[in-house]
Copies of this chain bind each other. A is one copy, B any other.
Amino acid sequence: MSVSVHDHARPLPHRVFNFSAGPAALPEDVVREAREDLWSIFGTGIGVLEHSHRGPVIDRVLGDAIQDCRRLAGVGETHEVLFLPAGATLQFAMIPMNFLPADGVADYLDTGVWAHKSIEEAKRLGSVNVAFDGRPSHYDHLPSDAELALSPSAAYLSYCSNNTVFATQFEAPPRTNAPLVCDASSDMFSRPLDFDRHAFVYASAQKNLGPAGITLVIVRKDFLEAARPAMKERLPSMLDYRAHATAGSRLNTPPTFGMYLIGRVLHWILAQGGVPEMLRRAQARSTLLYEAIDTSGGFYRGLAKKESRSLMNVSFRTPSTDLDDRFVTEAAEAGLDGLRGHRDAGGLRASIYNACPVAGAAELALFMREFARQNG
């Protein structure tokens, strides 16, 4: 409609390091691409936000995103890859609605704030066995096999692989004979996950994958086909995974920009070296921060026990809430943003997802050491 020549002759502003828990930092390369494609994508003269969800541009965007997702997950036609609107909290309801039969029971592990919410939603809809309750220990560790009180024949076992608030992360999936359902919202594609061992994996996008308001689902087709929803034919189509699968994630007008942005992030992950490289960086980032905690002579205390520590979120405290506040303020002044802890845990938290540069964690670790020296 118009050609603008001088629009962007000025430089882009400076950006800061963003440790927000989600919505979280995106890879800068992806943000640059999105800025271009917002105006016109693939030379169409129409921005990505404005293309029909059934036109050739979104066909290609979605097709590429699914293909890259399959490559990263290492799954073939045994699995469905779905992009669904809304975040994980809608999945907390949809999972029991689809997979918890009226006469069945599901095992849930209560390992953190979000796992607990998933239990609350499931309890409204069916019979739930809380096979581990982490609340008495303030969610400071994840269960050993001996701590699990599994039901004899659960329809599935639901767990959250990484708990963002108290910053714990399962090193391996819990051992059970039931189909595994995993909320991987906060560590998706940051380390290898055995998708063949999992019946259903989901991740809201705003931490490791893209924008808020869209969720990636990778589900084994045999699990999907065996579903016996308690609501049966009363299940609304938007809450029916089989309807979404049949429609190829385009049952209605889907969140096309979210599909696009996830696609660009998946492409970026592959270009960086894939999941192994994401793991290497996650280990580098988290090691920098945990060392700053562990060598602070007790000035910083981690919220999680060492054996359960997360590579994605590092939650810790200074000796006082006043110092916590000062830490947040002075860090922000130093260009290190988003470090206040979750309201349910207090203290401080650094979220260091895939898009967080190792250099950002290194700067934060330096800041932590200097802050401890000055205030210790």
Contacts and interface: CB of A to CB of B under 8 A. Distances in A.
Interface of A: 1-18, 20-26, 28, 31-32, 34-35, 38-40, 43-47, 49-53, 55, 85-90, 92-93, 97, 120-121, 124-125, 204, 206, 211-214, 233-239, 251-258, 261, 335, 337-338, 357, 359-360
Contact of A257 (B1, B32, B55, B257): B257
B7 A3 contact: no
Contact of A87 (B32, B85, B212): B85
A18 B46 contact: yes
A31 B23 CA distance: 21
A51 B20 contact: yes
A6 B12 CA distance: 9
Contact of A15 (B28, B46, B87, B92): B46
A237 B50 contact: no
Contact of A213 (B14, B213, B237): B213
22 contacts: A1-B357, A3-B11, A5-B11, A7-B8, A8-B8, A8-B10, A13-B45, A15-B46, A21-B52, A23-B256, A25-B46, A31-B39, A45-B335, A45-B337, A53-B212, A89-B252, A93-B236, A93-B239, A124-B233, A124-B234, A211-B257, A255-B258
Contact of A50 (B25, B49, B236): B25
Contacts of A5: 11
Nearest to A239: B93
B39 A13 contact: yes
Given A45-B335, A238-B89, A15 B40 contact: yes
Max chain B Cβ within 10 angstroms of own Cβ: one of A9, A55, A86: A86
B121 A237 contact: yes
A212 B256 contact: yes
A257 B7 CA distance: 23
Contacts of A3: 11-14
Nearest to A86: B85
B23 A2 contact: no
Contacts of A13: 3, 39-40, 43, 45
A307 B45 CA distance: 35
A85 B357 contact: no
Contact of A7 (B12, B26, B337): B12
A252 B239 CA distance: 17
Contacts of A8: 7-10, 12
Contacts of A337: 44-46
A237 B120 CA distance: 10
Max chain B Cβ within 10 angstroms of own Cβ: one of A20, A50, A55: A50
B16 A46 contact: yes
Contacts of A88: 252
A254 B211 CA distance: 10
Contacts of A124: 233-236
A203 B98 CA distance: 27
Nearest to A10: B8
Contacts of A89: 237-238, 251-252
A50 B26 contact: yes
Contact of A38 (B2, B18, B38, B40): B38
